[in-house]
Amino acid sequence: MTIFTAFLFIPRGVWANASANGKLLQVPANQSYSFLMAGHLYGFPGGVSQYPASTFLANLNKLEKLKFSFVALLGDTVRVANERSFDLLHQSVLGKISAPVFIVPGNHDYPDPELYEDYFGETYYSFRVGTEQFVFLNSEPEAATSSSQLTFINSIFSGIRSDSSIKNVVVFSSRLFWLEADPALIKLATLVNARRIKATDRQLWGVVEKELKSLEVKEVYLIAGDVGVESAPSVLSHHQENSNFHFIATGLGDDSEDAVLMGIVNEGNLRFEVISLISGEVDELENYTAQLWADLLPDPETDNGAGRQLNIFEKIWIILLRKTLWAGVLLGVVMMMGLKLIKFEL
C-alpha cells in the first residue's frame, strides 16, 4: 500500500519535537484515515497512582486494533509532573502505541516547562495531512500568549488562508480557552475541570478567533481535553449557529462515563465517533450538547440541574458515594489509632 508522510510545521524544525513517541506520521495515499483523541489522561484527581487512568490502560489493546494514523493527547497526561511520572507514561502508553502520539500540555504536565520540553519537545506545532491542517496550541496561562506562540499562530493561519486545498482545520488544546465564544458555552465554565475562565483564555481566544474568522470556506474544529471529572460528561459538542465553528471536548475521570473520540476522514469529509471505555453505551457526538451540560447546573430552587428536588434518601446516597467522605473517614480512623498508641505508650 502506497503511503505518504505528512508535512509538519515545528518552530525549531525538528521532527522529534512533535511526536512524543518518536513514530513517523504516515497515512494511506487515498487520504482516508482516522485519529484518536483523549484528554485528561491521568483520570481521577483524588487518586494517588502515577499511572494514567485505568479505563484507558485497560482498553489500550482494544483501541490499537482501530488502526488510527495518530493519537492526540489533550493535556494532563500525568497527575504530578516529574521524571518518574513521565517515564511511566512512556512505559504504559507512549511506548505501546504503534502510531505517532502528539501532546499538548495541561496544567498538571507543565509546572516545570523545561522538564516538559526535555521529554516532549515543543508545546505548540502544526502538521498537514491530506485536506486537514492540525494545530496544537499551549493553552496554559504562562505560555498561552507568549510572543513566540503568537508569532506561530499568525504564521500558520496565514498559510492556511492562502491554501484552498485545506478543507478542515483542527485546533487542539488542553484548556477550553474558547468558552466565551458563545453564550451557550460561557455558562458551562463551572462544569469543566478548571472550573473558571482565566484572563489568558480570553486573550488567546481573541487572537485565535480573529484568525479563524478569516477561514470562512473551511470547517473549523476546536477540540480540548480539560473535562471529564465527576460533575459533567466526558464529551461535549457544540456547533455555533450560522458559523463554521465546531467546539468539542473530551476527557477522562477514570469512571464509568469515560470515553475517547475517533476522528474519521474520508475524501475531505471529517466526522467523529464516541468510543466508550467502560459502559459501551454511547450516543452520537452531536447529542452531547451544551444544553445537556447546562442541565447539570444547579437550579437556585432545587438541589440538582434537572430541576427536581432531591429527597432525603437521594441526598444521603450522593454523600455516601463521595470519595472525599471516605478519605476523611479513613484519615480520622488513622489519627484515632495514632492517638491511642501515644496514650498507651505514655
pLDDT tens-place string over residues 75-84: 999 999 999 9
- Residue 339 lies in domain: 312-345
Pair 143, 80 in one domain: yes
Percent of the chain scoring above 70 in pLDDT: 80
Surface-to-core class of residue 11, CB atoms within 10 Å of its CB (0-12 exposed, 13-18 middle, 19+ buried): middle
Instruction: Give the closest residue to 223 by CA, choosing from 40, 22, 8.
Output: 40
Pair 36, 145 in one domain: yes
**Do 100 and 64 form a contact (C-beta atoms < 8 A)?**
no
For the residues 211-237, what does the mean pLDDT come to? 91
Q: Is the pLDDT of residue 11 over 50?
A: no
The answer to whether residue 75 sits within a structural domain is yes
pLDDT attached to residue 336: 67
Pair 88, 184 in one domain: yes
Q: Are strands 70-74 and 33-39 parallel, antiparallel or unpaired?
A: parallel
The answer to whether residue 302 sits within a structural domain is no
Surface-to-core class of residue 171, CB atoms within 10 Å of its CB (0-12 exposed, 13-18 middle, 19+ buried): buried
pLDDT attached to residue 307: 37
Percent of the chain scoring above 90 in pLDDT: 67
- Place 157 in a pLDDT band, splitting at 50, 70 and 90: very high
The answer to whether residue 287 sits within a structural domain is yes
Pair 290, 316 in one domain: no
- Place 309 in a pLDDT band, splitting at 50, 70 and 90: very low
For the residues 65-77, what does the mean pLDDT come to? 96
SS3 269: strand
pLDDT attached to residue 320: 53
The answer to whether residue 300 sits within a structural domain is no
The answer to whether residue 258 sits within a structural domain is yes
CATH number at residue 123: 3.60.21.10
Pair 149, 75 in one domain: yes
Q: Are strands 101-104 and 219-224 parallel, antiparallel or unpaired?
A: unpaired
Pair 329, 258 in one domain: no
Pair 332, 253 in one domain: no
* Three-point CA angle 60, 66, 72, nearest 5°: 65
Q: How far apart are CA 82 and CA 138, in angstroms?
A: 19
- Place 340 in a pLDDT band, splitting at 50, 70 and 90: low
Q: pLDDT tens-digit profile of 248-266? A: 999 999 988 899 999 999 9
For the residues 275-302, what does the mean pLDDT come to? 84
Q: Is the pLDDT of residue 94 over 60?
A: yes
Range name among 12-26, 79-93, 164-178 with the lowest pLDDT average: 12-26
Pair 335, 214 in one domain: no
Q: How far apart are CA 293 and CA 235, in angstroms?
A: 10
- Place 329 in a pLDDT band, splitting at 50, 70 and 90: low
pLDDT attached to residue 298: 76
Q: What's the number of domains the chain is made of?
A: 2
Q: pLDDT tens-digit profile of 112-136? A: 999 999 999 999 999 999 999 999 9
**Do 70 and 99 form a contact (C-beta atoms < 8 A)?**
yes
Q: pLDDT tens-digit profile of 165-195? A: 999 999 999 999 999 999 999 999 999 999 8
Pair 270, 320 in one domain: no
Pair 234, 288 in one domain: yes
**Do 222 and 196 form a contact (C-beta atoms < 8 A)?**
no
pLDDT attached to residue 66: 94
Pair 229, 334 in one domain: no
Q: How far apart are CA 283 and CA 251, in angstroms?
A: 16
For the residues 271-294, what does the mean pLDDT come to? 91
Q: pLDDT tens-digit profile of 27-42? A: 766 778 999 999 999 9
- Place 5 in a pLDDT band, splitting at 50, 70 and 90: very low
The answer to whether residue 212 sits within a structural domain is yes
Range name among 60-64, 142-146, 157-161, 306-310 with the lowest pLDDT average: 306-310
Pair 261, 316 in one domain: no
Q: Is the pLDDT of residue 301 over 60?
A: no
**Do 106 and 171 form a contact (C-beta atoms < 8 A)?**
no
pLDDT attached to residue 230: 63
Q: How far apart are CA 228 and CA 258, in angstroms?
A: 7
For the residues 48-55, what does the mean pLDDT come to? 91
The answer to whether residue 197 sits within a structural domain is yes
The answer to whether residue 217 sits within a structural domain is yes
pLDDT attached to residue 281: 78
SS3 38: strand
